[in-house]
Structures are given as structure tokens and as C-alpha cells.
Structure 1
Amino acid sequence: MTRELLEVVRGRLAEAGAEPTPARVALALREEGRVLGDAEVLGVVAALRSEMVGTGPLEPLLAAPEVTDVLVTAPDEVWVDRGGGLERTDVRFQDAAQVRRLAQRLAAVAGRRLDDARPFVDARLPDGTRLHAVLPPVAVAGTCLSLRVLRPRAFALAELVAAGTVPPGGERLLTALLAARLSFLITGGTGSGKTTLLSALLGLVGPAERIVLAEDSAELRPDHPHVVRLETRPANQEGVGRVALKDLVRQALRMRPDRLVVGEVRGAEVTDLLAALNTGHEGGCGTVHANAACDVPARLEALGSTAGLDRAALHSQLAAAVSVVLHLVRDRGGRRRIAEIHVLERDRDGFVVTVPAAIWSPDGFQEAPGWGRLARLCARGGGERW
């Protein structure tokens, strides 16, 4: 069957709003003057269903359990990340139009608009996969499609130790941190494993505690019996109905959280989070994009300025709200790991600085100048000595 005839059949089904069932495909073929055998019809059905209902040529990549990211930069350039860095695949699209159709259909499934008037989209698909797409001419070389796969089961901390994300023996330190109800931030770049680590740590929270998650895109899936998940919502086509992350933080405070979690602090919601952690909500946490743990105070300063919070006020709240920073990196081999753990202290001028407490090594965390302070914080909060 030629690609042209396949396109005609696809067009007929799309116009009718019909799914590619064997009977409908056979009818469309007859209308085009073609009669195929049962096996050929089923092959056409599979091809059309993959394109019209599934994710087309990307289906086997997204189904592979080790794949975390699928990136399409051109019809003949499809990349994946299997945990060891990006690698190019043999998957090909027929043409640029097929990539565009897939991006637009996935956006529609997510309830978002993607067209010339709105040439980009950032959304979550029903199965949890994170979708980002950009259309030409914003994407100069053609439609750019990025899919981040969210696995249905969160990693346990022991699995992160086995994978090298946490060094040997490091789970005892992290367990003590959680038991002491210390508030902490997880930092790192895109794809460094912040969400994976945070989900694993939340799985260590006692079953009697209530966790309330506020996220821009619902990605955290901790293995815990009592979790409330809140997700932001964009404005509709009329420009109304937007629910921002700071709105979710405020609502979460009214839901009796034992642990308040902000999936990613990226704007004015930093003021609400710091205020919440200063009102008796111990053990709160979140993630922040940062190049290094020592950059966190400056990063939060920049975010706080968008909400009109001056530097002195932000540092005052930060010193009282957050105790620890866990920084993740992704090395050249693609492995994600906790590079260092910092504690927060005030300098002589009263501003918050981070002090290294533990440094990653293949044999376990190595002590750094802030090690003693980290031990005291855990002990003061009731956490066991690691």
C-alpha cells in the first residue's frame, strides 16, 4: 500500500472523526477502489492507529522501560535518553507534516492549543508524560517535539543507591534528614533527577503524615498512602481561568499538610513557600533550578524580587525556613548523582550562605566543613545519627 493511499484513508477517517477500526478502514479502502486481504487491512489499521491514536513512530521508544526522554528535532532526527546520555535512533517520520500532526494531536489530547497563533505548548498527557512542542517559524528547522516519560512507579531510595545517584551508606543520612523534619531544597539542572530523588525521599515520610503537593506539572509520585496532588492550570482561549503555583501553595496551607511540597520553585511563589515554612510547617521541601548549591540564595533572591520581596526580608525568611540543600548533577556519562549537600548559615552581614556538609564519593559521603552542623540539625530534630 502506497504512502499516498494511506494518507487518503487517514484523511477520510479524520474528516469523519472515526477511529481506525478494521471495518472503517476496509470501507475507506473500498471507497478508493482498493480491496485488500484481511492481513493487509489489519496492517493498515495498526499503522493508522499508531498515528491517529498513539504516538506514531515514537510508540516503541516511549514503551521501552529504560527511556526517560524522547526528542524529535527533525523528521529524520529522533533522540532518546536511556539514562546514559542522548543517543540518536533509527526512528524516522515520513515528513515534517507528520511530526506537526503528531505534536498538534498530542496537544489536543492534553487540552491545549497548538497552531500558528499559539506555536508552542507545555503540557502533561493523561498518562503523565510531559509534552513540550514548538512549531515553525519559532522552531526554525521545523516542529520540535520533546517528551519526558513519567514512569508509573517511583524509585525507592535503595534503587537510587544501586544506580549510583546516592552513594553507599547515604540513605542513612537522608533518612535521618527526613526523620528530623528538616526543610530542604533539591537543586540541579534540567534532567538531573530532582523529581526522581524528591519522590523517593517523600516515600520515607511516615504513613501517618499528610503530604500536599503543589506542582506546575504533576510529576511527583511518592510511594506514600496519604498524598494530595494539586496542579496548575493555564488560562483558556479567552485568557481567564488561570491557576498559578502561588495560588496552589496558598490553598495547600488550608488543607492541613504535615509536609508541604512545591514541585518546582520558579517564580513569585517562593514568597508563599517561605512564609508557609515559617508558620510551623516543618519538613517542607521543593526543587529549584540552580547551577550549584552555593547559588541558591542568589537564585531565590532573583525569584523573590519578582514578587516585590526585598533582599533583607528574603534572607531573613530563608534562614528560618530552609535548613539543607541537596544538589544533583549529571556527569558526562549521563549518570545522575547527589554531588553535595549544603547547610544554610548566616554570614557576618546577616545574609544566608550555603556551607558544604557532605561531598559525593564512590565510597560514600565525605565530610565537609558543615558536617557537624548537619549532624546537630538532625539530632535536634530527633533524627538518628547516621
Structure 2
Amino acid sequence: MTSTVPSHAVAAVDPVLLETVREALLLDGAAVTDERIARAVRASGHVLGAAGTLHAVRSIRAELTGLGPLQHMLPATGLTDVWINGAREVWWEAGNGPVRVASPFTNDDEVRALATRLISAAGRRLDEAHPCVDVQTPDGMRVHAVLPPISTGGTLVSVRFRHRDVITVEDLVDSATVTRQVLDLLLAATAGGANLLVTGSTGAGKTTVLNALLSACPAHERIVLIEDAAELRPAHPHVVGMQARHANVEGAGAIELAELVRQSLRMRPDRIVVGECRGAEVRELLTALNTGHTGAGTVHANSADAVPARLAALGALGGMSSQAVALQAGSALDLVVHLDRRGSRRVVQAVSLLEEAHGALHMNPACSYNGEGYTPGPGWDALAQLAQRGEQS
């Protein structure tokens, strides 16, 4: 699907004016605001008039802090991702699947300049020595960039936007992500201290659902969030967060998730949450959840049935045998909530209990989505018992 550039798109600003304003704004190092930009435009000596000044302010702000010539093409609401595939292809998603739009870039140098600026804003370098970089910008965007010749089709830029508003449990029901009945069971189980693992593919809604479930935790709990990039924002009165740090250009200074999990144990947490388990940190999380702590995390997985194998693979990265992973996970984790994408919708595809038997992990399905509603499985009564325990606590 292809669309044309919206009528409100703003053409590129005069490069001389842009550089003049950029230098003026850098003099005092204060935050870039529309008022400061307008003042710098007027001081530059360019006679633009009211409409021309407004146009220049919007364009310059986009060039300095936003997505450059793309900024004023973006949808006002619902935007989740933007993909720039070289100078010729631009796609975005705003809730209805990927949509291709007319590219405002004339050559790959413009795309590379944008990618370099976004990466630099997060304190990292994008160049021939570092051609693949993943960062989170100060305003919360997740940016991944790849330069040629690693990329064979020009500079690649992937941007994921943080939700401006926290998604509530009511939003999950309204968007048909989950039914009220299943959601109430999950909320009660979470409030009662059940340890959760939210799984699914990239963009399936893991962070969104975990955010909503954590909001149901009792107000007296202290929740410690540990993430590679800060995305979780549960509506809870006592939340503290820590974020991993990549190595600097000399290859030093990295702080991994596993170290942050160990640090969290000294922070008197009631609930430890790892935003995304990708490797050895799963060992630290399972250890913590087996020593009296409550917690949650997310893991990439193709299906609920694939979770035992995924945990075994992640545990191996931390030096754990598959049997050790099964024993630790079987006692540490209660529920697996698996999400899937169905067109533009995100759906809780299955809820299962994670159980260990004879040194191996097994999934005990509590319910699964059949396209219209949920079909109870053999673990339904056990899920109801977890929820009942939460309601009584």
C-alpha cells in the first residue's frame, strides 16, 4: 500500500539558514524550543515574514531534533514504527500494518546524515568502524541503523516510538487484545504474586501487556525495572528503573542486564522485572525468583510451546544445563502469557502454566484463542486457583 506525501509536509529548509540557526542555538547549550529557533531565525537577517518564519521554525526543529524531512509527514497519532530503506523507500506503521509512503529523501547521503544525527544524540557513533548501532534517543525513540556496504540497499534506519500514553487494562479489552474474563484472571494472579513470563515475536505487544499487568500490582510493592532500553512505564506508585549501558568507543564501560539484576537484589525489591531476556540475564532472573523474590520478564518465542526450548537456549548462554534451567524455571515461573499478531491486532494467543517434570519443562495450557474467544485447556482450573489466591491476598 502506497500513499502520497501529505499536504502538511514541510520542504527542506535553506541549508545556510539551518547552519546559522544551528550555530546560534549551540552557543548557550539550552534546550531547543520553538521560541529560541524563531529568535535565531529573525536574528539571522533572513526576511521571511510571519508565514515563512513559522515554516522555517518547523523545518529547523525537525532537522535538529526530529526525523528531518520526514517529521511533518508523520501521522499525528498511533505511530509505532518508521522504516527507511535507503533514499527510495519509507514505510511506517500506525496501527493498521506497514504502509509505504513517498520518500522525501533525494539521495542516501541525506538518510545517512539523519541516521548519524539520531545515533549521535544518544552518545554513540555511526561510521565505518561502527556500521550497525542500536540506541535509545533522549526523547525515548529506539533507533537502529545500518550503513553500506553492510546494508546492500543504502542506509537502513528503523525507529520505534514509545507510546505517549500508558496503555491501561481497559485499553486491552477495548482493543480486543484479551477478553475481560481472561484479563481478570491474569490481573488477580499478578496481584497475588504469580511470576509471569510474557512471550511473543517482535512487535506482538509484550511490553504493552506486561505494562498493564504490572499496574495491577499492590500499591505497597516496590517494583524494580531492568531493561536494555527503558520502555516499561506501569501505572504504579513505587517504580524504579535501571537501564543497561553499551560499551563506549574504546570498548569499555558496558553494564549488562545480568549485572543489573544482581544490583537489584540490594534494592529491597518486592518485584523484579526484566524487560527482555536475551541471554545470560535469564540465569540471574531465575535465581532471584527462586530466592523469595517475585517478578516477571519477556522473552521472544514463536509460540507458547516453544518457550521451554527458548529458556533452555538462553540458559545455555549463561552456562546452565537444560536440566538446571528446567528445575529453576519450573519453581520460579508460574504463568506464560503468549501474544501474537493478527493483522493490525495484537492478541493474547495463549495462557499456560509452566511446569517441571523429570528434569524437563512442560507447558500446561490454561486457554487458547480460537479466533472468536478462548477455549479452556487442562490448566484452566490451576489458573483459576492462582487468581483466587490473588483475590484472597
TM exceeding 0.5: yes
Q: 1:172 to 1:384 in 2, by over 3 A?
A: farther
Structure 1 position 252, deviation (Å): 0.8
Alpha-carbon displacement from aligned partner over 1:85-128 (angstroms, at most 9, x marks no partner): 11112352232211111111111111111112111221111221
Alpha-carbon displacement from aligned partner over 1:204-225 (angstroms, at most 9, x marks no partner): 1111111000001100010111
Q: TM-score, normalised by structure 1?
A: 0.90
Residue among 341, 348, 351 paired with 1:338: 348
Once the two structures are superposed, the pairs formed by residues 73-112 of structure 1 within 5 Å of their partners are 73-112=85-124
Q: 1:375 to 1:253 in 2, by over 3 A?
A: same
The whole-number CA distance in structure 2 between the counterparts of 1:235 and 1:173 is 42
Q: What SS does the aligned partner of 1:152 have?
A: coil
Structure 1 position 138, deviation (Å): 1.3
Alpha-carbon displacement from aligned partner over 1:206-260 (angstroms, at most 9, x marks no partner): 1111100000110001011100010000111222111000011001111111111
- Give the corresponding residue for 1:195: 207
Residue among 195, 212, 215 paired with 1:183: 195
Q: Structure 1 residues 261-270 or 94-103, which shifts more?
A: 94-103
Structure 1 position 11, deviation (Å): 4.7
Q: Is the 8 A contact 1:153 1:221 kept in 2?
A: no
User: What percentage of residue pairs aligned between the two structures are identical?
Assistant: 46
The whole-number CA distance in structure 2 between the counterparts of 1:22 and 1:344 is 59
Residue among 239, 255, 258 paired with 2:270: 258
- 2:380 aligned with 1:368, yes or no? no
The whole-number CA distance in structure 1 between the counterparts of 2:212 and 2:13 is 49
- 2:332 aligned with 1:302, yes or no? no
Aligned Cα RMSD in Å? 2.4
Q: 1:341 to 1:23 in 2, by over 3 A?
A: closer
Q: Structure 1 residues 85-94 or 234-243, which shifts more?
A: 85-94
Q: TM-score, normalised by structure 2?
A: 0.88
Q: What SS does the aligned partner of 1:175 have?
A: helix
The whole-number CA distance in structure 2 between the counterparts of 1:5 and 1:226 is 45
The whole-number CA distance in structure 2 between the counterparts of 1:375 and 1:23 is 62
Alpha-carbon displacement from aligned partner over 1:31-80 (angstroms, at most 9, x marks no partner): xxxx6556445534432332133321232355622111111113232111
- Unpaired segments ≥5 residues, structure 2: 1-10
- 2:328 aligned with 1:286, yes or no? no
Residue among 7, 22, 46 paired with 2:15: 7
The whole-number CA distance in structure 2 between the counterparts of 1:353 and 1:139 is 40
The whole-number CA distance in structure 2 between the counterparts of 1:366 and 1:80 is 35
- 2:323 aligned with 1:312, yes or no? yes
Q: 1:36 to 1:257 in 2, by over 3 A?
A: closer
- Give the corresponding residue for 1:172: 184
The whole-number CA distance in structure 2 between the counterparts of 1:297 and 1:122 is 28
Q: What SS does the aligned partner of 2:14 have?
A: helix
Structure 1 position 179, deviation (Å): 2.4
Residue among 236, 240, 261 paired with 1:228: 240
Q: 1:37 to 1:378 in 2, by over 3 A?
A: closer
The whole-number CA distance in structure 2 between the counterparts of 1:302 and 1:220 is 25
- Unpaired segments ≥5 residues, structure 1: none
Structure 1 position 130, deviation (Å): 1.1
Q: Is the 8 A contact 1:169 1:364 kept in 2?
A: no
Structure 1 position 161, deviation (Å): 0.5
Q: 1:14 to 1:343 in 2, by over 3 A?
A: same
Q: In structure 2, what residue type is equivalent to 1:337?
A: V
- Give the corresponding residue for 2:367: 358
Residue among 329, 338, 354 paired with 1:327: 338
Q: In structure 1, what residue type is equivalent to 2:361?
A: V
Give the total of aligned pairs: 375
The whole-number CA distance in structure 1 between the counterparts of 2:299 and 2:107 is 38
Q: What SS does the aligned partner of 1:141 have?
A: coil
Q: In structure 2, what residue type is equivalent to 1:338?
A: V
Q: In structure 2, what residue type is equivalent to 1:7?
A: P
Structure 1 position 328, deviation (Å): 0.2
- Give the corresponding residue for 2:137: 125
Once the two structures are superposed, the pairs formed by residues 149-160 of structure 1 within 5 Å of their partners are 149-160=161-172
Residue among 256, 262, 272 paired with 2:284: 272
The whole-number CA distance in structure 1 between the counterparts of 2:170 and 2:58 is 40
